[in-house]
Amino acid sequence: MLNGKVAIITGATRGIGFATAKLFLENNANVVILGSKEESVNTALEKLSKYKEKILGFWPNLNEENEIEEIYKKVYEKFGKIDILINNAGISSSTPLENYPYSEFQKIINLNVNALFICSKLVVPYMKKNTGGVILNTSSMVSIYGQPSGCGYPTSKFAVNGLTKSLARELGKYNIRVNAVAPGVINTEMVSCLPKEVIDPIIKSIPIGRIGEPIDIANAFLYLASPMASFVTGAILSVDGAGMV
């Protein structure tokens, strides 16, 4: 479905990002993995070593424009284009408001919103050279419902939705589509560490009867990145089993 496309995925060393990178490679894309640490990037590259001719990995500070621009230049030199950007990197928190230090709030906004802005802004000139491209963002079900504690995370994801819809309107004239996927409860490392007495009620609250798997979100990204979604832009696609927590 992505034959010959070049995709850059942030937060791609584990969970949803890694599943998406693997699925894109299986669909014949060239993939650039971005992670926060050299060690985690190298581990991910080793797991995907069968695709070594089609994959690169870097560990930039996503809030540093010069580092992102340098990576984009390297990707362009290697593959000759950039077709797809997935802004997946993000962090969460559940700190109650009265105990919430501003530094923690700012850290979430920096990665979940500001980095998305930087990575998207700098990729547009490359997509214009291709006469089009796709920018995809990882939102969350909390961007619709909020959450009972840790207001920084849902605030950031509401912002992701706003950026998604606004950039879709701004960049459509360049044939650049911009969409987001809003996952529900997904079986990532963070969720798998929760005790059974916490997980079981969550599962019971989801009409489809299970929590999601990273591949469920990866499949949504694959659809939105592919020609099958050529008339889809500005969408926030919920992939949550109709659940709400």
**Are 11 and 183 a contacting pair, CB within 8 Å?**
no
* Residues 33, 35: Cα–Cα separation, whole Å: 7
- The angle formed by the CA atoms of residues 106, 112 and 117, to the nearest 5 degrees, is 105
Reply yes or no on whether 153 is catalytic: yes
Look up residue 20 and give its amino acid. T
Helices marked H in 138-213 — which ranges?
142-145, 152-171, 189-192, 196-205
**Are 72 and 118 a contacting pair, CB within 8 Å?**
no
* Residues 39, 203: Cα–Cα separation, whole Å: 34
* Residues 43, 29: Cα–Cα separation, whole Å: 20
Residues 6+ apart with CB under 8 A from 77: none
Q: Active-site residue among 76, 102, 153, 174?
A: 153
Catalytic residues: 153
